[in-house]
């Protein structure tokens, strides 16, 4: 399959290129960057030396790129993918957007949280969280790749929501991310003296991944869901650990919780169930498309606490995009992704 990457010089785009270059069914035909047009990608990312010497192009002529490509991956900030989607609307080229532009069923929700007009509201799109939406992903024209915090959080809570074991409006998600989730552009908060030896929350009650988590959980449970989501920044480059709390419905037993996770994920290659009492760690999934999940029952408070760990650049972005690509193409989902995590 011929594929192109729009926005190849961000962390997610570069990770996507790294994975696709090892994919046996892929030929990368175009990579773009508006800020580095004409430069060789390995001059920006030296880990690609000797493997990828492609020259970065402009995305100005999207129709030409689209005609050359079976799939276009978009690794741009929100608000930019809609232009690509509209440019490729009449072509058979399929799209996987790693940003937020095509994640929401209701574009008004997108506009409220992202403060950007949605210029492609009639686009035929599906939500790209592979373990939950395979059937829709297979034939989709546009796949809105799930976000990083949302992947960790939704996968942690999905079995409980699907089997209606929890009170949906008691959900609290406390999640921590490595700084690569903030992107490659330098900011004061990402500056080493500011970041190192520190730990801080941000986006309290306002983070844009909140409605994305709510949308998925509402679809699973069939009940209106409002959550509290608080993200944190930790001084590491990769990884997300999400700690999710919810009140169990009266009469729900620990064994029912165990069975719900086993039923939904027991056969999933990329989800490793650590079981009741398990403690996922970001280091154990680093560099992989895996999600480790463990859960605990607090009988004193009647709550379930679910912990999940992913690599934000792989399962939370590029790896999930390739998993969605594999599903859409009819390939084995593990193709290009069957790697053991890096350790330590």
Torsion region of 133: left, alpha or beta (phi above 0 gives left; psi -120 to 50 gives alpha): alpha
Q: How high is the pLDDT of residue 46?
A: 96
Q: What is the mean pLDDT of residues 33-55?
A: 96
- pLDDT bucket at 191, cuts 50 / 70 / 90: confident
The average pLDDT across 260-273 equals 98
**What structural domains does the chain harbor?**
2-123 (3.40.50.720), 149-312 (3.30.360.10)
Mean predicted confidence (pLDDT) in 70-86: 97
Q: Residue 184: is its pLDDT beyond 90?
A: no
Other CB atoms within a 10 A radius of the CB of residue 174 amount to 18
Q: Give the pLDDT score at 129.
A: 98
223, 166 Cβ separation under 8 angstroms: no
The dihedral built from the CA positions of residue 12, 333, 152 and 215, taken in this order, carries a sign that is positive
Q: What is the pLDDT of residues 317-338, one digit of tens each?
A: 999 999 999 999 999 999 999 9
The region that residue 164 occupies, defined by phi over 0 for left and psi between -120 and 50 for alpha, beta otherwise, is left
pLDDT at 311: 98
Catalytic residue among 52, 148, 244, 291: 148
> In terms of pLDDT, which residue wins out, 208 or 185?
208
Q: Which of 114, 217, 113 is nearest to 173 (CA)?
A: 217
- The pLDDT confidence band at residue 103, using thresholds 50, 70 and 90, is very high
Tell me how far apart the terminal alpha carbons of the chain are, to the nearest angstrom. 34
- CA–CA separation, 100 vs 176, rounded Å? 20
Residues 234 and 214: their CA atoms lie apart, in Å, by: 24
Lowest mean pLDDT among 107-121, 181-195, 323-337: 181-195
Does the structure show a pLDDT above 90 at 266? yes
Strands 228-233 and 172-177, by their bridges, are parallel
**Confidence at residue 219, expressed as pLDDT on a 0 to 100 scale:** 97
Closest to 189 in 3D by CA, of 129, 232, 238: 232
CA distance 76 to 98: 7
Residue 148 annotated among the catalytic residues of the structure? yes
What is the rounded distance in angstroms from the CA atom of residue 47 to the CA atom of residue 338?
20
Question: Residue 190's pLDDT is what?
Answer: 85
* pLDDT bucket at 185, cuts 50 / 70 / 90: confident
Handedness of CA 84, 89, 93, 99 (dihedral sign): positive
Say if residue 202's pLDDT is above 90. yes
What token pair was written down for 89? 């609307």
Residue 99 reports pLDDT greater than 90:
yes
Question: If you average pLDDT over residues 67-74, what whole number do you get?
Answer: 98
Q: Report, as an integer, the average pLDDT of 170-199.
A: 92
Predicted confidence (pLDDT) at residue 187 exceeds the cutoff of 90: no
pLDDT at 186: 82
Predicted confidence (pLDDT) at residue 241 exceeds the cutoff of 90: yes
* Mean of pLDDT values over 148-162: 98
Percent of the chain as helix, strand, coil, to the nearest 5: 35, 20, 45
What confidence score (pLDDT) does residue 314 get?
98
């Amino acid at each position: 399959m011929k594929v192109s990457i729009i926005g190849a010089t961000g962390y997610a785009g570069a990770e996507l290129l790294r994975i696709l270059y090892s994919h046996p069914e892929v030929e990368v035909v175009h990579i773009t960057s508006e800020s580095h047009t004409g430069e060789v990608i390995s001059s920006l990312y030296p880990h690609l030396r000797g493997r990828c010497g492609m020259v970065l192009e402009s995305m100005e002529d999207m129709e030409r790129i689209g005609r050359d490509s079976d799939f276009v991956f978009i690794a741009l900030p929100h608000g930019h993918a809609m232009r690509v989607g509209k440019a490729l609307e009449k072509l058979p080229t399929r799209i996987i957007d790693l940003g937020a532009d095509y994640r929401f069923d209701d574009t008004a929700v997108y506009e409220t949280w992202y403060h950007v007009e949605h210029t492609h509201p009639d686009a035929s799109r599906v939500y790209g969280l592979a373990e939950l939406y395979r059937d829709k992903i297979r034939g989709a024209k546009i796949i809105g790749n799930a976000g990083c915090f949302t992947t960790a959080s939704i996968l942690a809570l999905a079995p409980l929501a699907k089997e209606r074991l929890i009170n949906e409006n008691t959900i609290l998600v406390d999640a921590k991310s490595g700084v690569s989730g903030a992107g490659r552009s330098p900011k004061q908060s990402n500056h080493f003296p500011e970041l190192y030896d520190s730990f801080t929350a941000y986006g309290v009650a306002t983070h844009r991944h909140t409605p994305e988590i709510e949308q998925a959980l509402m679809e699973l449970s069939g009940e209106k869901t409002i959550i509290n989501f608080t993200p944190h920044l930790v001084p590491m480059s990769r990884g997300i650990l999400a700690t999710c709390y919810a009140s169990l419905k009266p009469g729900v037993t620990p064994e029912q919780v165990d069975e719900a996770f086993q039923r939904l994920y027991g056969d999933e290659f990329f989800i490793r169930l650590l079981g009741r009492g398990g403690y996922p760690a970001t280091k154990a999934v680093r560099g992989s498309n895996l999600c480790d999940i463990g859960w605990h029952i607090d009988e004193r408070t009647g709550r379930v606490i679910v912990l999940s760990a992913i690599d934000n650049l792989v399962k939370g972005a590029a790896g999930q995009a390739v998993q969605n690509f594999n599903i859409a193409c009819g390939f084995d989902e593990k193709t290009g992704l069957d790697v053991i995590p890096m350790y330590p």
